[in-house]
Amino acid sequence: MPVWGKMKILSISDCVDPILGDSIDRERFGDVDLAISCGDLPPEYLTGLVDALNIPLFYVRGNHDIRYRTSPPRGCVNLHRRVRLFRGVRFLGLEGSRWYNGGPVQYTEQEMRSFVRRLRPGLWFGKGVDVIVTHAPPRGIHDEEDPCHRGFMSFCQLIDRYRPIYFLHGHIHRTFEHPSQRFTQRGRTKVVNCYGHILLEIDEEALAGARRQAGLSRLRFRRRRQILR
């Protein structure tokens, strides 16, 4: 019988939070298993977090992370257009914002749709994805109407097709009176604005059950297609 547990994730974005600096509270954050950066943070900040907590860190670049090409964060994993496993959980990353002034790490909707399309074979054979990490939000969820802060419609399609448990993003700077204001539910997926920092948990037993259900749904879908043929 498998031994189930809970994975604790520290997700950060856009704002250097003093609470995660040199005097980080190791009693509060010492049981974190994995850190995730949703972008627009100095590479030294990510490196310092890895050194302080001695944990792995996955990241995507934001539209202001132009130094990462020459000075990437040490000991961290660039998740852009990749699927990575950690303790059996599948993480996928997509960097950048909507195109607005021609700067680096900006993409049109068509470009992002092309990235997603190229990921589909790997996602199918890898049986989907559990956590999606981006800088920009999905279109119509937590985004804004100015060209820079509009979300990607292709992210909505990604959520609907693969039903991850979490969709983590940054880019939208907001102050939250309560952590619940960070969350929006879309189907099975919790979309989370990770501005500043937030602690999240993944229940591995619940995730295994959700995967079994998703597998049955895919099997029923294939059978319906065979019958229609």
Determine the pLDDT at residue 208. 80
Predicted local distance difference test score (pLDDT) of residue 32? 97
Q: Is residue 1 part of a domain?
A: no
d(CA 140, CA 178) in angstroms, rounded, equals 21
What number of residues does the chain have?
A: 229
CATH code at position 176: 3.60.21.10
**Cα distance between residue 213 and residue 219, in whole Å:** 10
Q: Is 56 inside any structural domain? A: yes
Contact 8, 31 (CB under 8 A): yes
* Domain with 133 in it: 6-228
Q: What is the pLDDT of residue 155?
A: 98
Q: Is residue 153 part of a domain?
A: yes
pTM: 0.91
Predicted local distance difference test score (pLDDT) of residue 83: 97
Give pLDDT < 50 ranges for the chain: 1, 221
In a domain, 190, yes or no: yes
* Residue 116 lies inside a defined structural domain of this protein: yes
In a domain, 50, yes or no: yes
Residue 142 falls inside a structural domain: yes
- Give the pLDDT confidence score for residue 166 in this predicted structure: 98
Residue 172 lies in a domain: yes
Task: Decide if 158 contacts 116 (C-beta within 8 A).
Answer: yes
Number of domains in the chain: 1
